Amino acid sequence: MNDMKKVEAVIQPVKLMEVKDALNHLGIKGMTVTQVTGYGRQRGHREVYRGAEYTVDFVAKVKIELVVEKALADRVAATIMEAASTGKVGDGKIFIEPVEDAIRVRTGERGKDAIS
């Protein structure tokens, strides 16, 4: 059954619609999107509010998760990378990991049938 991959991407929120449209064009039928915060190399940033300067340690990001057939995972990752890239620090990360099984709750379908 190990013929599925989970693609998880953490991207800038302003790029979400571009990524969604690019994945729809690729034929992706669904995804889960979560608003998250975190930091990487950029280590947050400094802001001024009412004259006081302070450091924002965690930066707003969006996490996209989708499960696809193994053969499609690299193409999905490349599509996300192209659509989400600004060329600047903080563009995000993409993780690909194996999925043991998937089950559609409504019908009980398993594996590839559950994700199609």
Q: Under 8 Å CB-to-CB from 110, ≥6 apart: which residues? A: 1, 101, 102, 103, 104
Q: Are 78 and 7 in contact (CB under 8 A)?
A: no
pTM given for the model: 0.85
Residue 1 pLDDT more than 60?
A: no
Confidence of residue 32 (pLDDT cuts 50, 70, 90): very high
Q: H/E element holding 75?
A: helix 73-84
pLDDT value for 101: 95
Mean pLDDT to the nearest integer, 67-80: 97
Sequence ranges of the domains in the chain = 4-115
Q: What is the pLDDT of residues 90-105, one digit of tens each?
A: 899 999 999 999 999 9
Instruction: Choose which CATH entry (3.30.70.120, 1.10.10.10, 2.60.40.10, 3.40.50.300) describes domain 4-115.
Output: 3.30.70.120
